[in-house]
Amino acid sequence: MNWFLFSTKEWRRRPLRTAITAAGVAIAVAAVFSLLMFQDGYRQGLSREIDRLGAHILVVPKGCPYDAASIALHGANWPCYLNSAYLAEISRSVGVLSAAPALMAAFNNAQGAATVYVGIDDRMLALKPGWRIDGSFPHGSGEILAGAEVARRHAWKVGGRVALPEIPGRRATVAGILQPTQGADDTFIYTRLEDAQQWFQHRGELTHILVRLRDANLLEPTVLALRGCTAGMDMNIVPLAHLFHTIQGLMNSTRVLLGCIALIGLLIAGTGVSNAVLMSVTERGREIGILRALGASRVQVFGLIWLETIQVCVAGGVAGVLLAFFSSHAIESWLRTRLPFAPTDSFLCWSWSWAVISVAGAAILGVVAALLPAARAAELAPLEAIREGATP
Amino acid sequence: MLVLMARNLWRHPLRNGLTLAGIAVAMGVMVCIVSFGDGYRQALRGELDRAGVQMMLVPLGCPYDAAVRVLKNQTLENSLPASALVAVRRDPAVAVAAPLLMAALPRQNDRRTDLWVGLDDTALQLKPWWQVRAGQAWFNHAHDVILGSDAAALEMRVPGDKLYSPEIKQEFRVASVLNRSGTSDDSVFFVSLATAQQMFAQSNRLTAIAVRLKDPTLQREAATRLQRIPGAQVVTMTEMMGTFLNLLGAVRTLVLAVASIAMMVSALTVLNTLLAAVLERANEFAMMRAIGASRAQVFGLLLGESMALTCCGGVAGAGLALVAGSPIEALAKDWVPLTPGGSLLSISPSTVLPCFLLILGVGALAAVYPAWRAARLPPALVTKLG
């Protein structure tokens, strides 16, 4: 029997203790690993979301709450409106490639599910090169373009004549269905801008304007120009890159805090491991004495205990990574209800490198936690230990 | 019984010490987090109330970002026309409207950035903490500067001294130095509004206008009217505070979730320690049963030991939070958006007690299984183990 197999024996002797010790490590590692997954995933999710919006600048009405951008991304009701005459002025500004107007209206039904209508015109297509439409873009009055998710939920077919949800007595023809985009677009119902303005009684008004630039480097001068124009006095020009940085900054500060606390969790798990190994050393005083009497050196005894500890920690680490992976869906949906700016698609993304780093971290934890008990075991004087069954 | 528990715990000082340390750290973290949230809310409300400002006019742009920057004494990239001030003062509901112009002046040689703020005398009504430590009360000349206490200490100037700014190539006279207020004003160089506008070539521009209303209940109507001023938007303090508290609430939930994981891990350690105790002391428990102790008494003994352990851990953790709280607070201040001047941590019985009860509950829960196992040991075991 080699040392490695020998070291596994002790843990099999006390399965409950091993399980509890490893569970402690697993929980702490799962927390750390989830945070690491979140770190990359959130940034990517956010930038994908902003990319998908297809715009560099978002123009919203003045006096809107700060979360106007979040409303534009995820769909909700707007408390304030823009005069649609401003659109012309924005389109004329230097640097603007295209400016797409939108009028958004959201309805929440009793079950909490939202129906979001967005009135657009074909300028929106220039901003959404990723859109694939089955059927056609709505051209005539009373035609709609349904997001993939909405169409699936209501079982709409292209060309079908359907009753519009939440607008009693209004019927429309499904001109096209959007292929899945994996974003909030899937849950919107698009109509012609004129129709939306008429249905929701906001003639001549918009909720927001999406602006795409000729060149992303023109952001600063264009923002200045837009703020300087006459209409600029009544609008909020939000460069999405800035927004991205603001949210990212908020998240960063939170993450540092969370990381520190997760590390403290790991530290506590470390003391738990140390404690468990210490107990097993205490119980095995006699056994260790005999090992030493049979010729095992201090280094070998030290190594034996060390190996045992690392095994448990690595097992805990692997279990923790798996735990985090399998519960990532639950964690994500919980986070979604808590975070003010949660991207629509998955923001906990699996990464092999972080998984390996987490397990390695658990192993290092084992290395450190084993020092004290292993040293105690190595210190045992063989004969006394055998005679007394002594506690070290 | 208590003596017996203490003696049992004392038998393995290292083991129980480690367990205790784990509980103490978890408890300390929990107390810090809970009291941080409370303290933050109080400090924020205190700061906003003290100023008596109900709303703020800021330039267009992200209103949230703008308001944070103004409160933290940072410059904005955008500015308001001076005509907005006239319009605000004309509004019937406005009691005080204080304009300010902020500019950051990078000092290449000293690797720092000085903040210059231009004020007019209406600002005094909104800054009750404004107290002159030495020197004259207000600007007498265009080149007078009033220094915040930290700024004065940094520049090593007292009233009457000259202050030359190589970046602006202008010489100032230190008119006075302010008392320490605990706000971000402490590190500011104040000049009169006109001087600031001329210094930074921003004639007729303002960074923000702080507004106090005659009657705070008229806030909604006043905000709607002021919102119509071109180029400006209104951020009310209630709105802003709501936003911050929402954000803070989200952060706090996340942090508490991670902290409860730490607590769970420490509970597992307690469980392990107790299980080992049951194993080691099997013959002891059997003996107790044999000489007449009931199952409930054995159960109670182990439960009591666990509670005693977590109790000590809880007290140690609360102590840890008290001692380590302020250094942690200093660290946290750099990360939290909009830090109010006062103390953020308010460790009080009302924050410590729930944490303490929680940790006791966790300790009791962890003891159930080992205690049950101990109570189930048959008294006859004593004859086998000897």
A-chain residues within 8 Å CB-CB of B15? 275, 278-279, 282
Report the alpha-carbon distance of residue B133 to residue B316 in Å, rounded. 42
Quick check: A330 contacting B, CB < 8 Å? Answer: no
The span from the first CA to the last CA of chain B, in angstroms, equals 24
* Res A122: pLDDT: 84
Q: What is the pLDDT of residue A66?
A: 56
Q: Which of B254, B260, B263, B271 is most worth mutating to test chain A (most A CB atoms within 10 A of its CB)?
A: B254
- Given CB atoms, is A21 within the 8 Å cutoff of chain B? yes
Residues of A numbered 246-285 whose beta carbons fall under 8 angstroms of chain B's beta carbons: which are they?
246, 249-250, 253-254, 256-258, 261-262, 264-265, 267-269, 271-272, 274-276, 278-279, 282-283
Statement: residue B338 has pLDDT above 60: no
Distance CA A92, CA A198 (A): 26
Share above pLDDT 90 across residues of chain A, in percent, rounded to a whole number: 10
- B332 chain-A contacts, CB cut-off 8 A: 257
User: Can you list the alpha helix ranges (DSSP code H) found in chain B?
Assistant: 2-10, 13-51, 63-71, 83-90, 123-126, 149-155, 193-199, 219-227, 237-280, 282-290, 295-333, 349-376, 381-385
Determine the straight-line distance between the first and last CA of chain A, rounded to whole angstroms. Answer: 26
The C-alpha of B44 sits at a distance from chain A's nearest C-alpha, in angstroms, of 18
Structure confidence at residue A322 (pLDDT):
93
Residue A320 — pLDDT band, cuts 50, 70, 90? very high
A364, pLDDT greater than 90: yes
Q: Which of A129-133, A198-202, A249-253, B278-282 has the lowest mean pLDDT?
A: A249-253
> Chain-wide mean pLDDT for chain A?
82
A20 or A224: which leads in pLDDT: A20
Contact A384, A285 (CB under 8 A): no
Which residue would you say has higher pLDDT here, B302 or A11? B302
Domain borders along chain A are 3-49+246-388, 54-242
Give the whole-angstrom CA distance, residue A375 versus residue A367: 12
Question: What gap in Å lies between CA A269 and CA A259, rounded to an integer?
Answer: 15
CB contact under 8 Å between A20 and B18, yes or no, is: no
Predicted local confidence at residue A361, as pLDDT:
92
Residue B386 banded pLDDT, cuts 50, 70, 90 = very low
Cα separation of A143 and A133, whole Å?
14
Instruction: Tell me: pLDDT of A183 over 80.
Output: no
Q: Which residue has the higher pLDDT, A176 or B218?
A: A176
Residues B7-54 have pLDDT tens digits of 777 777 888 888 888 888 888 888 888 887 777 777 777 766 666 778
Cα–Cα dist A275/B358, whole Å? 23
Does residue B327 sit in helix, strand or coil?
Answer: helix
Task: Measure Cα distances from B145 to A76, B142, B335 in Å.
Answer: 49, 9, 31
Question: What is the spatial distance between Cα B274 and Cα A215, in angstroms, rounded to a whole number?
Answer: 67
The pLDDT-based confidence of A318 (bands split at 50, 70, 90) is: very high
Between residues B7 and A275, the one the model is more confident about: A275
Mutation to test the B interface, candidates A17, A36, A66, most B Cβ within 10 Å: A66
Q: How many CB atoms lie within 10 A of CB A379?
A: 11
Residue A362: the pLDDT is 92
Is the pLDDT confidence value at B181 over 90? no
Answer yes or no: are the C-beta atoms of B205 and B79 closer than 8 Å: yes
Q: How far apart are CA B360 and CA A339, in angstroms?
A: 31
Query: Pick from A35, A237, A272: which is nearest to B268 by CB?
Result: A272
How high is the pLDDT of residue B73? 60
Confidence of residue B273 (pLDDT cuts 50, 70, 90): confident
Query: Domain map of chain B by residue range?
Result: 2-46+244-385, 61-230
The whole-number pLDDT of residue A163 equals 86
Continuous segment of H or E residues that includes residue A74: helix A68-74
Q: Is pLDDT at B341 greater than 60 in this prediction? A: no
Minimal C-alpha gap between B120 and chain A (Å): 26
